[in-house]
Amino acid sequence: MGCINPDGTLTETARKVLLSIKDTALNEKGIAQATGLPMFKVRASIRDMFGVGFLYETDSKQFEISPVGVKVLES
């Protein structure tokens, strides 16, 4: 899984993405701007984290951190 290290912790990229949306929903472009990550990394991270339930997409095409994502971010 691209968002989780072999030891079970979040990758640095995944941590940046989750922190960027912890308090405010953002779209892909907003996440890229907030994190300084290139769009391809943002998209790959979103795909991975969406797949494991760390975030979800709102009706307005923005991403928010899920309760599972909050829990893994805080651990």
pLDDT of residue 64: 95
29 three-class SS: helix
pLDDT of residue 3: 85
- Band of residue 1 on the pLDDT scale cut at 50, 70, 90: low
In angstroms, the CA 1 to CA 48 distance is 7
pLDDT 10s digits, 8-47: 889 999 999 999 999 999 999 999 999 999 999 999 999 9
In angstroms, the CA 27 to CA 4 distance is 22
In angstroms, the CA 62 to CA 58 distance is 5
DSSP 8-state secondary structure symbol assigned to residue 46: H
> What is the pTM assigned to this prediction?
0.89
Task: List the chain domain ranges.
Answer: 12-74
CATH 3.20.20.140 for domain 12-74: no
